[in-house]
Amino acid sequence: MATLRMGHGPSMERLEQAGHTVGGWVARYARFGYAARGVVYATIGVLAVKLALGYGGKATDTKGALVTLAQQPFSIVLMSLLAAGLVAFAAWRFVQAILDPEQKGRDGKGLVTRAGYFGSGILHVTLALSAVHLVTGAGAQKGRGTQGWTAELLSQPFGAALVALVGVGVMAFAIAQFRNAYTAKFREKLSLDRMTPTHREWAIRVSRFGLAARGAVFTLIGGFLLLAALRSNPNEAKGLDESLAVLADQPFGAVLLGIVALGLVAYAAYLFLQARYRRIVAP
């Protein structure tokens, strides 16, 4: 019996060590992914701030941000790192969706959350492919865009209802962003003990501002989708870049765009905070 226990102990230790190693790699990849997303959103926000201030800039989306970054010095290195980071984030989303390390569960709310993680993973795979195309000189990956897939949905039976359903889903996501900003529930997933109280308070304030700004942008996107469904007109649908452009065209548009743009920069800071301080629950 003693021999059996001696043989059993080391094998269990090896399994535990392997588990810690896998968990460590998952955490590293997840943090790398959050940082890559931060770079993308920082680019979107800075370009929008410059547009609001009248110093050039433009209203763009995530793929447009990659195109801008690809035009910078050392772009091959930068885009290669971004592509790897976006793949890492996609992988982390798939882990969250399939293995459920954060125990969202299998009830209705949990399944919706995990489905959202899976959809986010797919979106970041396509974004990573766009980055790869830019690195290899193939140019930005061209998709159908918001109006393209809206037109595709509208052409289906009950197409207007499908587009409306997507719009409602986007609006629900926006409300979740506002709620997270208001309650600051994101603090539960961050280890901020190493920060001074002042730095911790500012980190939370900036994060709340960033989440609220992202909620505002997705409110616009969801509203335009509902309008497209109501009018059965895909041209009414607008993505991130077009929604920012609409803001700029409003009365006091420069002010509105400037506030939202600074919020998107704040959201990038929130993602960098996630990369550094998030508690990663590995499977």
Average pLDDT over the chain, rounded to an integer? 88
Mean pLDDT of 129-151: 80
**pTM of the predicted structure, to 2 decimals:** 0.88
Give per-residue pLDDT as tens, 61-102: 999 999 999 988 888 899 999 999 999 999 999 999 999 988
Q: Compute the distance between CA of residue 227 and CA of residue 225 in angstroms, rounded to an integer.
A: 5
Answer with the residue of higher pLDDT: 262 or 194. 262
User: Which residues, listed in sequence order, are joined to residue 278 by a DSSP beta bridge?
Assistant: 190
Give per-residue pLDDT as tens, 150-176: 999 999 989 899 999 999 999 999 999
Residue 42 has pLDDT above 60, yes or no: yes
Task: Give the pLDDT confidence score for residue 271 in this predicted structure.
Answer: 97
Confidence of residue 24 (pLDDT cuts 50, 70, 90): confident
Task: Give the pLDDT confidence score for residue 142 in this predicted structure.
Answer: 61
Mean pLDDT of 33-48: 96
